[in-house]
Structure 1
């Protein structure tokens, strides 16, 4: 199955939501036993709507027009842009869609005059860490987040 096209998303579809949910496999919200799966999905869907309203979302589709991956891009200032979310469906991994999406984000950051492109990933997500290192990213710092339930 080859890749067909990259396009900018203009609306949130069920396929985009579902692939965004897949990206949360290592999310601290997915792994928190106090947060149900429906609550996690609602959280990620709201976040996806927010990113689409304030940033860019590129979608990679396969030859059969199925959503194969997506990248959410944000540029909060004129110096730093970020990859807010990157996910590639398991069926199309290792077909360069992820690299293509990262390249597109790099170009967008340059076009906006940004001098830095950042991405955050979970420490437990070793495959994502290796992928980002392969794409030229390096570890800037480590942060720990804790949820306090009252």
Structure 2
């Protein structure tokens, strides 16, 4: 697929928010009984449902400038002709973001989304390659991303892209007790 990648700042968050992040939860990852802290078992979800992170209060990209100083954040968007196919929000060197662990050599994928019509067509991979290039150009040695046990497709995508699961955090989301935080990292060559 022919894609054009464009870089912008936080002024593009409204455009980024127009991309749906909703997905069907038809599989989940469970902690393996008696297994290690990173042993996960995939199982079918008997009653699939739709998860839309943006539906949670304050979670939409257009609301982030109210909650955070987004002045140093970057958005890489993928365009197919005149249609926005996807985008990734990247952060590095922002002391206000705990997920960066006070590390100057760590970049964070804050949000990666692909328009439903473009899912499974290589847009996510193109955005991830661009994110790695962006992080490398800033002297970062690692790229970090967060997902959850309800987002099996995202977890498997990051695994295929060379990310390693380093942390499984039950209870990370006080209002979402059935969702377990997964933190993945990838070295930047």
Provide the rounded CA distance (Å) in 2 between the counterparts of 1:51 and 1:9. Answer: 15
- Measured after TM superposition, the shift of residue 46 of structure 1 is 1.6
Where does residue 18 of structure 2 map in the other structure?
18
Match of 2:59? 43
Is structure 2 residue 150 aligned with structure 1 residue 124? yes
Structure possessing the higher radius of gyration over alpha carbons: 2
SS of the residue 2:174 aligns to = coil
Aligned residues: 136
2:141 is matched with which residue? Answer: 115
Uncovered stretches (5+) of structure 2, i.e. residues with no partner:
25-49, 94-102, 176-189
Determine which structure has the larger strand proportion and give its number.
2
Q: In proportion to residue count, which structure has more helix?
A: 1
What is the root-mean-square deviation in Å for CA atoms of aligned residues? 2.8
Unpaired runs of at least 5, structure 1: none
Shift of 1:9: 2.5
Return structure 1 stretches of 4+ with deviation > 6 angstroms. none
Q: Which residue of 1 aligns with 2:79?
A: 61
Q: Distance in 1 between matches of 2:65 and 2:110?
A: 10
Give the TM-score normalised by structure 2.
Answer: 0.62
Q: Which has the higher contact order (CA 8 A, sep 6+)?
A: 1
**Given that residues 12 and 75 in structure 2 are in contact (C-alpha distance below 8 angstroms), is that contact kept between their aligned partners in structure 1?**
no
